[in-house]
Amino acid sequence: MTYQGYYVFDVRPLKSPEPGMDFLNEYVLVGNQIQQQAKYSHKLTERTLKFSYLQSSATEREWYRRFFDSYKGRYGKFWVPSWKRDYSLAVAAAPGASQFRCVQAFRSSALRGYKRHLYIPTDSSLCTKIQAVSSNLGEEVITINPYFVNGLVIVGEIMDLYLCRFDDDSFRCEMVDNGAWSQVQFSFQELQKETP
């Protein structure tokens, strides 16, 4: 599946070890410290995602290696979902809806990022861009484009989708359970400045 010209790496990772997410919140000191006060210029918040994947055969292991090689380590860009429920619907979204209401979570209060995309893993997975967010009586009203063609039920997963590159230059695979399985851990770096 592709979205806005980039491949969506929609392979569900293992739940253990727990997927990791680190935040890069860089800033530059732009003023001298005067009486214990300083001025900072904040940069965009970018995330590092870490997921583990299990392979049951040499064929699967080779698929992951080819995928890694095809993006040349830190060079190529692709989409990666967060693989957690980032949004909890307050009510079901009707087919053709360009907005949905979710439980307010104040996720963006300490984050600086301008472009956000969503991934909804259904039978016909949907990727969409957040156009606007507003608050209304303890709920967030999120406007998206493109809209929900098939609607969305309350129990459905809605997760953030990040434009990323690999955050590692080498592919490492660990054999587990006496060689019956193999496991690879990928680290992805968000590219907020390059996100369409």
pLDDT tens column, 92-105 = 888 888 998 888 76
The predicted structure's pLDDT at residue 3 = 96
Average pLDDT over residues 119-143: 84
For the record, the structure tokens of 134 come out as: 């507003």
Rounded to the nearest 5°, which phi and psi values hold at 131?
Answer: -95, -35
The number of domains in the chain is 1
Give per-residue pLDDT as tens, 141-176. 888 988 877 778 776 788 999 999 999 888 889 998
> What is the Cα–Cα distance from 57 to 16, expressed in whole angstroms?
20
Q: pTM score, two decimals?
A: 0.84
> What is the Cα–Cα distance from 176 to 158, expressed in whole angstroms?
32
> What is the Cα–Cα distance from 167 to 164, expressed in whole angstroms?
9
* Alpha-carbon 32 to chain mean position: 37
Q: Which domain holds residue 183?
A: 2-194
- For 57, which DSSP code? S
The predicted structure's pLDDT at residue 110 = 45
The fraction of the chain above a pLDDT of 70, given in percent, is 81
Q: Supply the mean pLDDT for the chain.
A: 82
